[in-house]
Amino acid sequence: MSKHSAKERSELLYKRALASLPGGVSSPVRAFHGVGGTPLVIQSANGSEIVDEDGNQYLDFIGSWGPLILGHTHPMLTQEIRRSVQQGTSFGAPSRPEIELAELVVESYAGIEQVRFVSSGTEAVMSAIRLARGATQRDLIVKFSGCYHGHVDYLLVAAGSGLATFGTPSSAGVPKPFAELTRVLPLDDEDALIKLFKKEGNKIAAVIIEPVPANNGLLLQRPKFLKTLRDICTKYGALLVFDEVISGFRLGLAGAAAHYAIQPDLATFGKVIGGGMPVGAFGGSKKIMKHLAPQGDVYQAGTLSGNPVAMSAGLKTLRYMIENQGWRKLEALGEYLEKKISTVLKTSPIPASLVRISSIFWIAWGSNTPPRSAESIHKNAVKYYKAVFHGLLNRGISIAPSAYEVGFLSLAHTKDDIDKLSNSLAYVLAENFSEFKFQNRSQENKKMTGSTP
């Protein structure tokens, strides 16, 4: 595979971008700060490939951070978007695709009787939490460290010192009093959960969790932990919110809720539900959703909410997945990837383990066993990842520019693409980490035994 070294146009454009866009980007991870170097400026994409401004082609495992379950510019979807645009780009009134997409979500996801559309995952989460607070007449919310729920003020919060102390802002601009209404718990820890609820359970409006935590690595949870969470929320009258912005419609039509057979009170969606267009959604039972304006007194609105073009794209994507057994195909592809990458990692000079669920995958660098909490990710994970990232990019493979981001497969990926990834990974590991040799690997294993569960 050719080296992708000519990046002059990307570099020039990015330099220009730095003058007019903060950090040169519209969303921070894109700036490559997690791995160093200059971001590629992308010109076009097709199937499983993206093309930069210098004309370099890359096999893409980012998939626009999750939405593109069919791959880039799927002809059927492109045609549908074109058709919809010709009928009008926005009506500011109800439309058929919006109603049909709502019906599909309601049919598919256990416990959701009604759904409201918004324009991003952040907006979905923000609105769902306001709804939970309005419906329960309580203020406190609980989140887990290692889960990301968008850039909502009261969710950009880190754990304070000690259990059940106030959360503290993890971003400048988040007022302390907002953060103080949020409690932050570690994942995978029933004791911490029970202790917090014993102390403050009657004041907790909602607990929000990514049932498949996929924003700080892929921290798959024990089903028992999720079940305990469900039970304790029920016991104390707090609403359980599954943030399925990544997992929703990626694991299947019925989300992580069906995968774990646990029904949340509210669920939030984004990414796949919009088929690559800006869509978010949240839903729950009629009993809860009736609190939303115009029926109820929890205010929530949006000029472009339920946008007909975005709704058409989401609807077409999901229908295509249903008609073509898309999730079954992705699972088969995921199994193939797991087999191939795991084989490479077995002889990796540095310890590493592959974590996969459906078409979402992540490599836990430095760890022999998959971590289940943010705290147990290996301290050298970022260092290892940087070398792997640039090695793969130079060989024409684009993975996320951050050690903590997962990879996504789409229906456009082939076994051949996965072979390319695994062969290139083997090459990059040998090229970059040969000095580690096997005795180092076993030393590293010993050092990190205490840091993984």
Ligand X SMILES: Cc1ncc(COP(=O)(O)O)c(C=O)c1O
- Catalytic residues, by residue number, are 148, 243, 271
Instruction: Give the number of C-alpha atoms closer than 13 A to the C-alpha of residue 334, restricted to the C-beta side.
Output: 22
- Quote the CA–CA distance of 141 and 203 in Å, as a whole number: 9
Strand arrangement, sheet containing 407-408: 352-357, 360-365, 407-408
Report the nearest approach of ligand X to the CB of residue 16 (Å). 25
Q: In the complex, what is the shortest distance from the CB of residue 127 to ligand X, in angstroms, rounded to a whole number?
A: 12
Residue 210 vs 417, nearer CB to ligand X:
210
Kind and range of the H or E element at 393?
Answer: helix 381-394
How many whole angstroms separate alpha carbon 331 and alpha carbon 334? Answer: 5
Closest distance to ligand X from the beta carbon of 243 (Å):
5
**The length of the chain, given as a count of residues:** 453
Do 244 and 219 touch, CB atoms closer than 8 A?
no
Whether 169 and 179 have beta carbons less than 8 Å apart is answered as yes
29: Cβ contacts below 8 Å, ≥ 6 apart = 400, 401, 402, 405
Cβ 386 vs Cβ 156: under 8 Å: no
Shortest spacing between CB 125 and ligand X, in angstroms: 5
Nearest CB to ligand X, comparing residues 125 and 220: 125
Considering the complex, state which of residue 245 and residue 298 has its C-beta at the smaller distance from ligand X: 245
Map residue 299 onto helix, strand or coil: coil
Give whichever of 277 and 344 is closer to ligand X, judged by the CB atom. 277
Cβ 148 to ligand X, closest distance in Å? 5
Binding site for ligand X (CB under 6 A): 65, 120-122, 125, 148-150, 210, 215, 243, 245-246, 270, 280
Of residues 129 and 179, the one with the C-beta less far from ligand X? 129
CB of 325 to ligand X, least distance (A): 26
- Contact between 266 and 242 (Cβ < 8 Å): yes
Count CB neighbours of 107 within 10 A.
10
Count of beta carbons in the 10 Å neighbourhood of residue 145: 18
121 or 366: CB nearest ligand X: 121
Which residue sits closest to ligand X, CB atoms considered?
Answer: 121
Q: In what order do the strands lie in the sheet with 57-60?
A: 42-46, 49-52, 57-60, 397-398
